Amino acid sequence: MNQHLAFADYAVFIIYFIMVSTYGYTIYRKRKKTEHDAKAYFLAEGTLTWWAIGASLIASNISAEQFIGMSGEGFFLGIAVAAYEWIAAIALIIVAVWFIPVYIKNKIYTMPQFLKTRYNESTALIMAVFWLFLYVFVNLTSILYLGAVAINGLAGGEYLHIIMIGLALFALIISLGGMKVVAYTDVIQVAVLIIGGLVTSYIALTTVGHYFGVGENAIAGFKVLMREAPEHFKMIIPKPTVTSSQNDINKYLTFPGMLSYLAGIWIINLNYWGCNQYITQRALGADLQTARTGILFAGILKLLMPIIVMLPGIAAYVLYQKGYLPQLVGGKDGAYSAVLTFLPTGLKGLSVAALTAAIVASLAGKVNSISTIYTLDVHKKYIQKEAGERQQVNIGRMAVFAAMLLAVLFTWNDVLGIGGVGGFTYIQKYTGFISPGVFAMFFLGMFWKRTTGTAAIVGVITGFLLSVLFNEFAPALFGNETFLYTAYNNGKGAFEIPFHICMGLSFVFTMLLMIAVSFAGPKVNPKAFELDTEMFKLKPQTTVLIVITLLIIFALYVKFW
């Protein structure tokens, strides 16, 4: 069993690199005439097809934290972690039907623009600066660090900084071509990601079959997983009792059973897919039907993701429990890399290409969003108000360089301590604290005409403070058992409330406060959006896609409840 890459693996990877680079350059050459058109550069306005939007959404979403982090959660929790992907598919339906029409009808191109149009300039500026810091110092850094560490482990463990620079440069090349280049190269990235991911899952299952004496058969291997780890194939984590082990308590803290579905997981997904420049930017330049179809296509692709990013983790768990995975190091986060060691020469290169595709696509999408927000919502409004189209594009490209350079500098020696807490936890920690307030601000801003700008600012601040309160201080201040929550021993000398429940409580109280503050204003805020029923009507083909998605999700939950 060779744990490092061979010549054939490098050859496969180089072929992948050439394919993406060549295709990206071809797209760039085709848009030469609009090279200095700001909206074309930032939004690929009106030129993205539904399949390009859908593929780009998935490519931007799936990255190292999914391959490494979600595979690790599959190792620890099992199929329950698939809820992040399957509930995301429902969230995408909600975004396609109700959120996107509001954005497109009101010609919203950036999230700060939404806040300025609906509330006021102060709210927009505060959130623009916040999003820039979040995207650069949380998202970019964690994606770059996790990706470099994962690929470095497969390449021999001696090239971390070289790989880091390589990933940054690859993403930089794609990003400088603008949104159209990013989106269309994402189509190749998603194809590589899915094919490589499925190959890894197939090899993992056949390996399980081999070691357990049922033959090198993927279906037989899957049946072995269900037999050897039945608790890993339950969607609902049971609530701990006085006899529960610390391991079972830790599982519940990570994913608190039915309460996850009543609280945090919806806020996580609706905020991420519906109120996030990084994601919605792909659809904002298209017409409504194209945007809707692309978003629903992404939802269908999300249904496949647990097979790619979670199943190898469960396979690693079963192999490890029986002593067949001695190469696993670093606990659950080492599960995916350990499984990759079973791949034969050549296919290992394909899996590394899939991992690279996920990382580079996410990096490119993120820096494109950073440059869009900085250029349109900060530089153009407050620094160089007279900037023309060419200047805006150039400013956007400089922002891309600056963001990537900062990410490399802060990741170089892990200045932010991402390795200490884990990349998946690092992202959830810092984005989760702000999600309840941001989602409340967007949701009420879209669908309640009375919501005021004052309420929006109060909501963002309150959502953050309540998240900190419930996550860090509530058990010590109010006790471990109240009518709102139960805190559990985390095995580290402290009690904590499950993260999803903290988000739900923060969201509910933030909404109530925003509503109370808004009642002090006019019955209809002058800046409220005009909504009409025509905006939300669906074409038959759209309804069919929604029904198919919901039926598949229903069948999955019936099977694994």
Question: Residue 497: which of 510, 514, 479 has the closest Cα?
Answer: 479
- pLDDT value, residue 57: 87
Tokens of 107: 């010609």
Euclidean distance between CA atoms 494 and 516, whole angstroms? 35
- pLDDT value, residue 42: 67
Whether the pLDDT of residue 422 is over 60: the answer is no
158-215 per-position pLDDT tens digit = 788 898 999 999 888 888 777 777 777 878 888 888 888 898 899 999 999 999 988 8
Whether the pLDDT of residue 1 is over 80: the answer is no
Whether the pLDDT of residue 94 is over 90: the answer is yes
DSSP-based three-state secondary structure for 224: helix
Question: Residue 94: which of 549, 554, 491 has the closest Cα?
Answer: 549
- Per-residue H/E/C for 268-315: HHHHHHHCCHHHHHHHHCCCHHHHHHHHHHHHHHHCCHHHHHCHHHHH
The DSSP-derived string for 109-156 is: -SHHHHHHHHT-HHHHHHHHHHHHHHIIIIIIHHHHHHHHHHHHHHHT
> Residue 37 — pLDDT band, cuts 50, 70, 90?
low
Whether the pLDDT of residue 2 is over 60: the answer is no
- pLDDT value, residue 276: 84
Whether the pLDDT of residue 525 is over 70: the answer is yes
332 or 124: which leads in pLDDT: 124
Give the residues across from 495 on adjacent strands. 489
**Class of residue 428 by CB neighbours under 10 A (exposed 0-12, middle 13-18, buried 19+):** middle
Listed range (114-118, 363-367, 512-516) with the worst mean pLDDT? 363-367
542-555 per-position pLDDT tens digit = 999 999 999 999 99
Question: Residue 361: which of 10, 20, 13, 14 has the closest Cα?
Answer: 20
- pLDDT value, residue 46: 62
- Which positions ≥6 away from 371 have C-beta within 8 Å? 42, 175, 395, 396, 397, 399, 400, 403
Listed range (149-153, 170-174, 379-383, 520-524) with the worst mean pLDDT? 149-153
- pLDDT value, residue 390: 83
Whether the pLDDT of residue 419 is over 70: the answer is no
Cβ-contact 48, 286 below 8 angstroms:
yes
**Average confidence score pLDDT of the chain:** 86
Question: Residue 194: which of 92, 118, 302, 285 has the closest Cα?
Answer: 302
Cβ-contact 174, 182 below 8 angstroms:
yes
Instruction: State mean pLDDT over 477-500.
Output: 91
- pLDDT value, residue 486: 93
386 or 95: which leads in pLDDT: 95
Q: Percentage of the chain surpassing pLDDT 70?
A: 94
- Which positions ≥6 away from 204 have C-beta within 8 Å? 221, 311, 312, 315, 316, 339, 342
Give the residues across from 481 on adjacent strands. 486
Alpha-helix residue ranges (DSSP H) falling in 373-473: 389-412, 418-421, 423-432, 435-447, 453-468
Q: Are strands 495-496 and 488-489 parallel, antiparallel or unpaired?
A: antiparallel
Length of the chain: 561
- Which positions ≥6 away from 366 have C-beta within 8 Å? 60, 135, 139, 140, 143, 278, 403
Alpha-helix residue ranges (DSSP H) falling in 490-539: 499-518
Phi, psi of 16 (to 5 degrees): -60, -45
271-305 per-position pLDDT tens digit = 989 988 877 777 877 889 999 999 999 999 999 99
Euclidean distance between CA atoms 178 and 173, whole angstroms? 10
* Sign of the CA dihedral with 55 first, then 57, 60, and 61 last: negative
DSSP-based three-state secondary structure for 486: strand
109-159 per-position pLDDT tens digit = 888 889 999 999 988 998 898 889 888 988 888 888 888 877 877 776 678
Cβ-contact 180, 40 below 8 angstroms:
yes
Q: Within 10 Å of residue 435's Cβ, how many Cβ atoms? A: 25
Domains of the chain (ranges, CATH numbers): 7-30+50-415+424-432+531-560 (1.20.1730.10), 433-530 (no CATH)
The terminus-to-terminus CA distance of the chain in angstroms comes to 37
Tokens of 163: 């790989």
Whether the pLDDT of residue 25 is over 80: the answer is no
Give the residues across from 486 on adjacent strands. 481
449-478 per-position pLDDT tens digit = 999 999 999 999 999 999 999 988 999 999
- pLDDT value, residue 467: 92
Whether the pLDDT of residue 516 is over 60: the answer is yes
> Residue 380 — pLDDT band, cuts 50, 70, 90?
confident
